[in-house]
Structure 1
């Protein structure tokens, strides 16, 4: 199962200090690297503007994603807080999944929406 771990500043985030200089960022980077080396982390990195970041992780169950997030040194030290969302992906170059959405799909969905009285 794929999960998105959204990391945002928490109570020990220091305003005016860029992300890579925040406390526990070296430990955080090594921790995420370890998950990558184990094959769990699919992609990770900061957001533009150094206002947090995200990790896409591939684990058996949500509890594994929660455990990964809660053991992150930056989360444990309250520099980051986290939110986890199960990734219900529909297209992926990684898995070579392409739904080939096209005008036929739009027409079908508009019919369904019309039948539901939405449009």
Structure 2
């Protein structure tokens, strides 16, 4: 399994507000399927970050392209393979 960090930047504020409930429901479903490891908004309102778990980049992009924010043009995206490096002393 590989991890992919997706930066979602605001493209259309009105669409962002309109599709937020569907976006959050999508992320929750992806978490239940173990396809999203973590996600959250940037505190400055510029967008958010989603960490996908996938076998390869193509699979991660296929997940991303199902997000209502992407489908409806509310957000732009940038994706990078991410090497998960955990601190054994850190606890959430």
**TM-score normalised to the size of structure 2?**
0.85
TM superposition shift of 1:7: 0.3
**1:1-119 → structure 2 map (5 Å cutoff):** 1-10=2-11, 12-14=12-14, 22-89=17-84, 91-93=85-87, 96=88
How many Å separate the matches in 2 of 1:46 and 1:79? Answer: 14
User: Which has the bigger relative contact order, CA under 8 A and spacing at least 6?
Assistant: 2
TM-score by length of 1: 0.67
Gaps of 5+ in 1: 97-119
Aligned residues: 86
Greater strand fraction, Structure 1 or Structure 2: 2
